[in-house]
Amino acid sequence: MSETVNQTNPSFGKLIRKAVQSFGLPRLIIAGFLLLLFILAPFVNADLPMQITNTINRFSWNAVLVLAMVPMVHSGCGLNFGLPLGIVAGLLGGTLSIELGFRGPASFFISILIATPFALLFGGGYGWLLNRIKGGEMMIATYVGFSSVSFMCMMWLLLPYHSPNMVWGLSGKGLRTTISLEGYYDKALANFLQINIGKLSIPVGTLLFFAVLAFGMWAFLHTKTGTAMTAVGSNPTFARAAGINVDRIRLLSVIMSTWLGAVGILVYEQGFGFIQLYNAPFYMALPAVSAILIGGASVNKASIMNVIIGTFLFQGIVTMTPTVMNNMIHMDMSEVIRMIASNGMILYALTRKTEVRR
């Protein structure tokens, strides 16, 4: 009813209130906070071009991991807290490509190629599991992620890797916790078509790679299968009545998410320059989840735009807070702020009454 009043008599205050409501208060706070950081930066002698470069760089590393959330949200599987499973597939691809002796930027694509069967296999099993426990996906996804990471902790020690660049020097077996990618696919995408304007440098290659994947995702969501996926997510009963095989679509979405997770970690590694094993992937799902939520997604709705805005805002805060805070009050509170902001955002999304309970 108030809706019609608004439309017939759109006073400015109401318009703003409506905009805030649709945008969400926490999102507004976070966007405002980032804006404030950017404004403050020059006053506290922070190097602004450097900060912007860092933000763009970090955006390019993380965007694909955030994109991996989209298919599962669309098919109604909720936020993919099981992202570490995809990451494990990516890590297997990366380490195996090094083990097999591939070098240079080409090894990046070889890694993706090797990671793909693992991602399909893991994603298939994971999707099958999630189809059996509809309604409880998010909690179980979290623990599937944790179990897979802790299982791989043992595997990194036990699998017969031999490449001297990866194993512990003394015992000659068991992978190191961090492996340098120098000579392998370090900056494989970032150095491609890199633009440098003064202090500003933009990793066009990585951004292009993300753009291709994002466009692919957008195009896919507009195909027949993609529309079916959205239908399954918004109303599974209706979708079933329309003759869509709900379980198959959900399985497909989980496999896509897992594969994107695998590719995402490889993109992250090529930017970061290191492979991080063992406990590193444990909490990698949370930043990605909160990023897409900050971008405006909810538990059952997400678009490519949400991914881009969210990743930019999240990574902007992650890069800007430490420098600005440090220069301002000589105290590094960034870690704490990041924890509160990102988890607060997830909490906010979880408490919205958006999802149709099955």
Partner 1 sequence: MSVKTVPAKGAGKSIGSFLAGNSVPIMFILICAVCIPVSGFSFTYLLNEIMSRLGRNAFLILSLLIPIMAGMGLNFGMTLGAMAGEIALIFVSDWQIWGIPGMVLAMIISVPFSVLLGLFCGKILNMAKGREMITSYIISFFINGVYQLIVLYMMGPIIPISHSSIKLPRGYGIRNTVSLLNMRQSLDNAVSFRIAGVKIPVITLLIIVCMCLLIIWFRRTKLGQDMRAVGQDMQVAKDAGIDVERTRIISIVISTVLAGLGMIIYLQNMGNLSTYSSHSQVGMFCIAALLVGGASVDKASIGNVFLGVILFHTMFIVAPNAGTKITGDSMIGEYFRVFVSYGVITVALVMYETKKRRAKAGNGRQLQLEQEAIK
Which positions touch partner 1 (CB under 8 A)?
Answer: 81, 129, 132-136, 138-140, 142-144, 146-147, 150-151, 153-154, 157-158, 174, 286, 331, 333, 335-336, 339-340, 343-344, 346-347, 350-351, 353, 357
- The residue (of 15 and 336) whose beta carbon lies closer to partner 1 is 336
Q: Which residues pair with 202 in a beta bridge?
A: 195
- The residue (of 11 and 177) whose beta carbon lies closer to partner 1 is 177
- The residue (of 189 and 285) whose beta carbon lies closer to partner 1 is 285
User: Radius of gyration over alpha carbons of the chain, in Å?
Assistant: 21
Distance in Å, CB of 42 to partner 1, minimum: 26
- The residue (of 104 and 136) whose beta carbon lies closer to partner 1 is 136
User: Treating both helix axes as pointing N-terminal to C-terminal, what angle do 83-99 and 285-294 enclose, rounded to 10 degrees?
Assistant: 120
Distance in Å, CB of 36 to partner 1, minimum: 19
Tokens of 68: 């991996």
Distances from the Cα of 357 to the Cαs of 77, 78, 237, in angstroms? 12, 12, 11
Distance in Å, CB of 212 to partner 1, minimum: 33
- The residue (of 19 and 336) whose beta carbon lies closer to partner 1 is 336
The residue assigned the tokens 């993609």 is 226
- The residue (of 260 and 349) whose beta carbon lies closer to partner 1 is 349
Distance in Å, CB of 253 to partner 1, minimum: 19
Tokens of 220: 């896919």
- Whole-angstrom Cα distance, residue 50 to residue 93? 32
Do residues 342 and 314 make contact, with C-beta atoms less than 8 angstroms apart?
yes
- The residue (of 52 and 73) whose beta carbon lies closer to partner 1 is 73
Do residues 53 and 201 make contact, with C-beta atoms less than 8 angstroms apart?
yes
Burial class, 183, CB count within 10 angstroms (exposed 0-12 / middle 13-18 / buried 19+):
exposed
- Whole-angstrom Cα distance, residue 276 to residue 179? 7
- Whole-angstrom Cα distance, residue 67 to residue 44? 34
Distance in Å, CB of 305 to partner 1, minimum: 24
Do residues 98 and 295 make contact, with C-beta atoms less than 8 angstroms apart?
no
Distance in Å, CB of 5 to partner 1, minimum: 28
